Amino acid sequence: MTINSKAVSAFDICQIVIKSMTKKEAKQLVDSWVWNVNIFDIYDYLKEEDRPTQRRILKQCLKTFNESRSVSHFIDLAEHLNHGDLSLH
């Protein structure tokens, strides 16, 4: 995708997302990450977000990646960002 004649990656587009996004927006964001970004890119994105947005995105990550080996990485990331009490409920 290009914006003002500049190539923009999917991750760059995610940086434009508004603060305190809705559950639907969080799901769309996390779905765009599947097979496109790694846990370090996700951490870089989340560390700049407010706590409610971090929590909403992390919960969606746990739902989206629940059946994969990646779920343990998201649990570790949640604990690192002081969301150790995060659950799927």
Structural domain contains residue 72? yes
pLDDT, residue 13, reads 53
Structural domain contains residue 45? yes
Looking at the structure of the chain, the number of domains it has is: 1
Taking 90 as the threshold, does the pLDDT of residue 46 lie above it? yes
Structural domain contains residue 74? yes
User: Per-residue b/e over 27-50, b at no fewer than 16 CB within 10 Å?
Assistant: bebbeebeeebeeeebeebbeebe
Structural domain contains residue 15? yes
Measure the CA dihedral 16/17/18/19, to 10°.
Answer: -110
Structural domain contains residue 65? yes
Structural domain contains residue 88? no
**Residues of the domain holding 42:** 2-80
Pure H helices in the chain = 10-14, 23-33, 39-46, 51-64, 71-80
Taking 80 as the threshold, does the pLDDT of residue 14 lie above it? no
Distance CA 77, CA 75 (A): 5
pTM more than 0.75: no
Structural domain contains residue 86? no
